[in-house]
Amino acid sequence: MAQVAIMCATLARQWRKSSDRLCIGGTFTVPGWKTALANIHKLLKPGRLVMLDEIDPVMFKEELYIRPAAGDGYNLDEFMAGESWISKLNSVYTGFVRKHDFIVGLTLRLGGMLKQAGFTVEDVQSGQGPIGHLCRVRKGIDDRSLSEFTDFSIEGLEFLITRFTAIMRREGTLEAHLGHPVSDDQELQSILAEVRHGLQTEGAICVGACFLARKM
């Protein structure tokens, strides 16, 4: 996530001399995004810019990640099935987003949605954000060390997972892994500990993108 944030900050600096800019990020359903983009289009003057910063709510093992083509989606069941710690993580993280009808693969679809809303896409910067252990072994933009983000990246993800599991337990929809319901608190704590250990010893990557678009 830190790598994605640095990437977006770099893109922002490249365009800092432009006037009437908006920097937007959010989690919406498909209708929500269409409404948001329509409202942004109304707000901006012709020729002005909007920058959107998004991260897909799917975690990947570094060696298994293959980015789909723009416009395609992820095979979500593939990342939520199985008994590995990362499958259990995605069953909560991705599962929550999917169950509440938010867009999971937004970085693959946002370019087309911007064009439909009356924007031209000026620039797209995509990148991988290491989580946990991978912050120690991967470098950021300009060969920058990401080691300082090791614990922070885990804590940020755990913050989301703790809240997602609480909501899904109330709804009776919590699964970890896909198809395996979890209702027992002891089992849940064991799963969360397994996920934390996996992030500390192996790490994961998330994928983000920054879109710079101009109102036509």
Contacts of 100 (CB under 8 A, 6+ apart): none
Express each pLDDT in 8-23 by its tens digit: 444 444 544 444 555 4
Is-contact 127 205, C-beta < 8 A?
no
Q: What is the C-alpha separation between 71 and 114, in angstroms, rounded?
A: 12
Q: Output the pLDDT for position 26.
A: 56
Domains annotated on the chain, with CATH: 2-215 (3.40.50)
Joined together, the tokens standing for residue 131 give: 């989580």
Q: Cα–Cα distance between 84 and 103 in angstroms, integer?
A: 24
Cis preceding linkage at 41, omega within 30: no
**Tokens (6 digits) for 1:** 């996530």
pLDDT in tens, 72-116: 567 888 889 999 999 999 999 999 999 988 888 888 889 999 999
